[in-house]
Chains A and B, each alone.
Chain A
Amino acid sequence: MALPVKFQPALLWKLILSISALIVLTSITLGWFAGQYAVDLIKSGLIERGRSLARNLAYNSEYGVLIANQAIITQLVDGVIKEEDVLYAVVQNEDGESLAGARSTQLSILPPKTVERKELREVTWTDPTTKAYQIYWGGEVFYEVTFPVKTRQVRRTREEIGLTIDETLSTGAPVIERTIGLAAVGMSLSEKRVNAAIINILRSIALLTGLVIVAGIGVTIFLVKLIAGPVNQLATAATRIAEGDLSSHVAVKSRDEIGALAASFNRMAESIQQRERELRHHAEELDRLNHRLVTQQEALQQINAQLAAASQHKSQFLANMSHELRTPLNAIIGFSGILLNPALGKVSDEERREFLSNIMTSGKHLLGLINEVLDLSKIEAGRVTVSQDRFSIPEVLESVRQTIEPLADKKQITITTTIDPALTVIIADETKFRQVLYNLLSNAIKFTPPAGQVQLFANAGKDGAEFAVVDTGIGIKPEDRARIFQEFEQVEMSAERRFEGTGLGLTLAKKLVELQGGRIWLESEVGKGSTFSFALPFMKRIESAVTDHS
């Protein structure tokens, strides 16, 4: 038996590993970009802060620059460098001369003016007057953001000083400004801060990755179960079908592709089942036909055998016939030749009578033979009609006994007749009845040694009349009993037969009995004698006939 398909743990692991690898790869890529983005963000935040500081410094320095007051500006730049990430702050006048500068403890001196600086043009400022530079100095990278120090060239006099102070103090009014100096702030990316930010991002991403992997494993197991369950059912059902259990069905009810597959599978199973039923039906039909063919073949073989036997009988019959016909004809030709040949001289009257008598006997024998053959052929051709005669059994039996008596007397054989008193009148074909009885009696006499005894019994049976001819003859061996009712069958079929006869007597008797719906049979004991019996069914008329005589 095939095992149902199981999702091996190895497969599950492979799926989980591939999904985890995908997630980790995605996370690493994302992490890298996020790190880059964070650094960019920190950098732009730093520059933005620098811009804010520089702008404020520039605004606040206006008066100090205007009156070139170092003390005022020093106070301002000192305030700026206290800010985180600020390396230095410098305020210059119009001519680029430093008015005041301050540096953080990270720097030993302020960077010289000649230091190489790269303008950061990619930074889009909302205020185009701001400039940012990247500076490489003393093995450090830092940023400098500058903002011009401007002043309003407006002189208020008298009452306007007081009346317009709102406007003067606010920066919103559109007034003409003049650049009178520059405020510059140096900003440095603190490595510690950048690293902390990146580590923070990496930690978040690692945590997220872990969570996503756990969720991914969960989803994978769920999906594998979701698919494996129905697939297992399908596989089990397929295995059962393969083993011949066509009634096997898959109980997957889901409305997805697997559900559709299961439904198709069930349809397929039903269709196979249907086809198998049809095949079985066809096979049974074939079996039946085959059986009929065999039966017919057997019947044909039987018929064939019968035909062969019949053909052989016919040949035998012809041979016997020829022999039976030739013997009396030879006797007739021989005796008539003697009588007609003058060369033989004188033939006494006694001799002539004897010869003529012989001729007569042979002629009669020949006629009898031909009549029997004719009768037989008529019966075989179905041209014999059975008449229904009403006759008296004792009378007909006595009549036949008298007819046969001369034959029995010749061999000093006595014939005794015993008739059942209940059996008086019968309805049958009288002529044929007589013939059957005559044939059986003459046969009995023929095969009974001289001074023997032949007995004739007539009994009323349950359904008909039974007749039996019992002799004390040679008897018939059991193996010969079946064939003695066939044409030209005598127990000894050799050329040297002891008993003359056409060999058609019993055949004819059998046919005649069967024509009237009766049957004929034989009981015999070798050396002691034989009993030939036949039974004729009572016809309906028999009862009225019986009542007539009662």
Chain B
Amino acid sequence: MLLLAGTSYVHARELITVIKTREAEPYEIALTSLRRTLRDKGIDTQIEELFLAEDGQGKDHRLAELIKKNPQLVVTLGSAATERAAKVIKDTPVLFCMVLNPQASGLVRSMSGSGNNLTGAALDIAPQVQFEALRSLLPNAKKIGVIYNPQETETVVQQGRKAARDMGLELIAVPIASGDKVPDALRSLEKKVDALWSVADSTTFTPASMEFIFLHTLRNKLPFMGLSPAFVKAGALLALAADYQEVGVQCGALATRILSGESPSSLPVTTPQKAILHVNLKTAETLGLKIPPDRLKGAVVLR
């Protein structure tokens, strides 16, 4: 589906093209916030939206057409859109928004500077912040398990190991090479760990495996820390989530700087400044946990 907001050539205004591969509410929240930030900063822009179907692998000629229009900035929403844009767009600045682990994905060389035409607002919440949230609910948890595919999320797991060590915790990471190893990996973990942590690993979390993981963790009373509020809704005990509006604002600030002539390569990738705790009390009940109310201050609680 192609959504072009205003197809006329108005060169007086800055042309920004927004690329997305999926319609999802968090992306829309961030985009709205981005638009508002630009408007607040007094930048007159014309924003075109380009929707790339996620299975349309051979249809990136539309991206080529987009480049011909010579937009001042390409904004991508999500990892999939960013990866596809990064493959084709090499000169025009690409500002990614709502992307998790851009470094692990290889989109940027480092969080402090991409070294290419990309920069953006990431969703990464530091493992330490995450473990602190986990520990606030489970003070006795010492051993934390995680299942990951080293080819995908080695970097994140490394960060996690370091953070755990610093906090006096132990992260037991079970590497898997394919999805069919998830049940075995989960079974190998269930007796050894006090909680299960998760990294955004597509080998571990497939549509088919997720149900199994949720059921298995609930059955075995294994507290599970998910990746997003949706995980909490689906049965995970807790998750830390970025404020998507804040991500949009960060993205807007970066866009302003790029449009004013700064190079993306030197602009550091931003990360959320605040993380919101989401807790599922039903799951807590199932797990037999008693969480003192003061621990839930400022948290979004699902009862």
Q: Please judge, given known A-B contacts A69-B183, A162-B200, whether A63 and B101 are in contact too, CB under 8 Å.
A: no
* B82-112 to A contact mask, C-beta < 8 Å, 1/0: 0000000000000000111100010000000
Using a CB-CB cutoff of 8 Å, which residues 44-80 of chain A contact chain B? 62-63, 66-69, 71-72
B211 close to A (CB within 8 Å): yes
A159-B183 in contact (CB<8A): no
B10 adjacent to chain A (CB < 8 Å): no
Q: Is A164 an interface residue (CB 8 A)?
A: yes
Residues of A within 8 A of B (CB): 62-63, 66-69, 71-72, 151-152, 154-166, 168-169, 176
Docked-complex contact A67 and B24, CB < 8 angstroms: no
A158 to B178, CA, bound (A): 16
Nearest Cβ in chain B — how far from A79, in angstroms?
13
Chain A, Cβ-Cβ closest to B124: A159
For the complex formed, measure the closest distance between the CB of A58 and the CB atoms of chain B, giving whole angstroms: 12
**How many angstroms between the C-alpha atoms of A69 and B178 in the bound complex?**
13
Q: List 18 A-B contacts (CB under 8 A).
A: A62-B208, A63-B208, A67-B178, A69-B183, A71-B183, A72-B212, A152-B207, A154-B54, A155-B202, A158-B100, A159-B123, A160-B22, A161-B205, A162-B241, A163-B27, A164-B22, A164-B24, A165-B210
Partner of A158, one of B182, B200, B231, B233: B200
Q: Nearest A residue to B235 by beta-carbon distance?
A: A169
Instruction: Report the bound CA distance from A166 to B208 in whole Å.
Output: 13
Chain B, residue nearest A159 (CB): B100
Please tell me if the beta carbons of B208 and A156 are within 8 angstroms of each other in the complex.
Answer: no
Whether B227 sits at the interface, judged by CB under 8 Å, is: yes
Q: In the complex, A156→B203 CA distance in Å?
A: 9
Which of B22, B208, B227 has a CB less than 8 Å from the CB of A162?
B227
- B252 lies within 8 A of chain A by Cβ: no
Residues on A with beta carbons closer than 8 Å to the beta carbon of B27? 163
What is the CB-to-nearest-CB distance from A89 to chain B, in angstroms, rounded to a whole number? 19
Contact present for B228 and A163 (CB under 8 Å): yes
Instruction: Determine if B181 is an interface residue (Cβ-Cβ < 8 Å).
Output: yes
- Determine if A158 and B208 form an interchain contact, defined as CB atoms under 8 angstroms apart: no
In Å, the complex CA distance between A159 and B226 comes to 11
How far apart sit A329 and B248, CA to CA, in the bound complex (Å)? Answer: 193
Cβ of B185 to closest chain A Cβ, rounded Å: 11
Task: Return chain A residues, CB-CB under 8 Å to B201.
Answer: 161
A165–B211 touching, CB < 8 Å: no
| A101–B207 CA distance with the chains assembled, in angstroms | 25
A71 to B233, CA, bound (A): 28
Cβ-based interface call for B223 (8 A): no
Residues of B within 8 A of A165 (CB): 210, 227-228, 230-231, 233-234
Chain B interface residues toward A at CB < 8 A? 22, 24, 26-27, 54-55, 78-80, 98-101, 105, 123, 178-183, 200-202, 205-212, 226-228, 230-231, 233-234, 239, 241
CB closest residue in chain B, given A71? B183
**Contact status of A157 and B183, CB under 8 A, knowing A63-B212, A165-B234, A176-B55:** no
Complex CA distance for A159 and B209, rounded to whole angstroms: 17
Please give me the residue from chain B that is nearest to A66 by CB atom: B208
6 smallest A-B Cβ distances: which pairs?
A: A67-B180, A162-B228, A162-B227, A159-B100, A63-B208, A165-B230
Contacts A67-B179, A152-B208, A156-B207 known; list 15 others, CB within 8 Å.
Answer: A63-B212, A66-B208, A68-B180, A72-B183, A72-B212, A151-B207, A157-B105, A158-B100, A158-B202, A159-B79, A159-B100, A161-B205, A162-B230, A162-B241, A164-B230
Chain B residues with CB below 8 A from A69, complex form: 180, 183
Residues of chain B with a CB closer than 8 A to A66's CB = 179-180, 206, 208
Q: Are A157 and B79 in contact (CB under 8 A)?
A: yes
Residues of B within 8 A of A169 (CB): 207, 210-211, 234
Residues in B with CB closer than 8 Å to A157 are 79-80, 105, 200, 202
Q: Are B202 and A161 in contact (CB under 8 A)?
A: yes
Task: State the CA gap A503–B56 with chains docked (Å).
Answer: 173
- A168 to chain B: closest residue by CB: B207
Contacts A165-B228, A169-B234 hold; do A160 and B79 have CB atoms under 8 A apart? Answer: yes
Report the nearest B residue to A63, measured CB to CB.
Answer: B208
Question: Given A162-B228, A165-B228, are A63 and B98 neighbors across the interface (CB < 8 Å)?
Answer: no
Q: In the bound complex, what is the Cα–Cα distance between A158 and B80 (angstroms)? A: 9
Q: Please measure, in the bound complex, the distance between the C-alpha atom of A62 and the C-alpha atom of B209, giving whole angstroms.
A: 9
Q: A72-B183, A169-B234 are in contact. Are A161 and B227 (CB under 8 A)?
A: yes
Residues of A within 8 A of B211 (CB): 63, 169
Contact across chains for A159 and B207 when beta carbons are under 8 A apart: no
Establish whether residues A156 and B205, one from each chain, have CB atoms under 8 Å apart when the complex forms. yes
Chain A residues with Cβ below 8 Å from B210 are: 165, 168-169
User: With a CB–CB cut-off of 8 A, which chain A residues contact B180?
Assistant: 66-69
Contacts of A72 in B (CB 8 A): 183, 212
**Residues in chain A near residue B98, CB distance under 8 A:** 159, 163
Task: State A160–B26 Cα separation when bound (angstroms).
Answer: 10
How far is B295's CA from A311's CA once the two chains are assembled, in angstroms?
170
Residues in A whose Cβ lies below 8 Å from that of B234 = 165-166, 169
Beta-carbon nearest neighbor of B228 in chain A: A162
Q: How far is the CA of A159 from the CA of B239 in the complex (A)?
A: 13
CA distance A535 to B98 in the complex (A): 174
Q: How distant is A534 from chain B, measured CB to nearest CB, in Å?
A: 160
Chain A residues with CB below 8 A from B99, complex form? 158-159
CA A156 to CA B230, docked complex, whole Å: 14
With A and B bound together, what is the CA distance between A85 and B200 in angstroms? 44
Bound-complex Cα distance A169 to B210 (A): 8
Pairwise interchain contact B231-A162, C-beta atoms closer than 8 A: yes
Chain A residue at smallest Cβ distance from B214: A169
Q: Is A63's CB under 8 angstroms from B26's CB?
A: no
> Could you tell me the distance in whole angstroms from the C-beta of B136 to the nearest C-beta in chain A?
20
| Beta-carbon nearest neighbor of B201 in chain A | A161
Verify B230–A158 contact, CB threshold 8 A.
no
**Complex alpha-carbon distance, A410 and B38, angstroms:** 202
Cα A158 to Cα B233 with chains together (Å) = 18
B105 touches A158 (CB 8 A): yes
Q: Is the CB of B230 within 8 A of A160?
A: no
- Return B154 CB to nearest CB of chain A, in Å: 14
Cross-interface CB contact of B78 among A154, A160, A168, A176, cutoff 8 Å: A160
The interface residues of chain B lying within 8 Å CB-to-CB of A68 are 180
- When distances are taken between beta carbons in the complex, the residues of chain B under 8 Å from A155 are 202, 206
User: For residue B202, which residue of chain A has the nearest CB?
Assistant: A157
CB-CB nearest in chain A for B229? A162
Q: Which residue of B lies closest to A169 (CB)?
A: B234
Q: Return the chain B residue nearest A152 by Cβ.
A: B207
Contacts of A63 in B (CB 8 A): 208-209, 211-212
CB <8 Å contact, A67 and B182:
yes
Hey, which chain A residues are within 8 Å of B228, CB to CB?
Answer: 159, 161-163, 165
User: A64 to nearest B CB, angstroms?
Assistant: 8
Instruction: Specify which of A154, A156, A163 is in contact with B26 (CB 8 Å cutoff).
Output: A163
Q: Which residue of A lies closest to B205 (CB)?
A: A161
* A-side contacts of B54, CB under 8 Å: 154
Q: In whole angstroms, what is the CA distance A178 to B150 when docked?
A: 27
What is the bound-complex CA distance between A543 and B79, given in angstroms? Answer: 176
Give Cα A160–Cα B212 distance, bound, in whole angstroms. Answer: 19
Q: How far is the CB of B177 from chain A (nearest CB, A)?
A: 12
Q: Known: A154-B207, A169-B234. Is A159-B179 also a contact (CB below 8 A)?
A: no
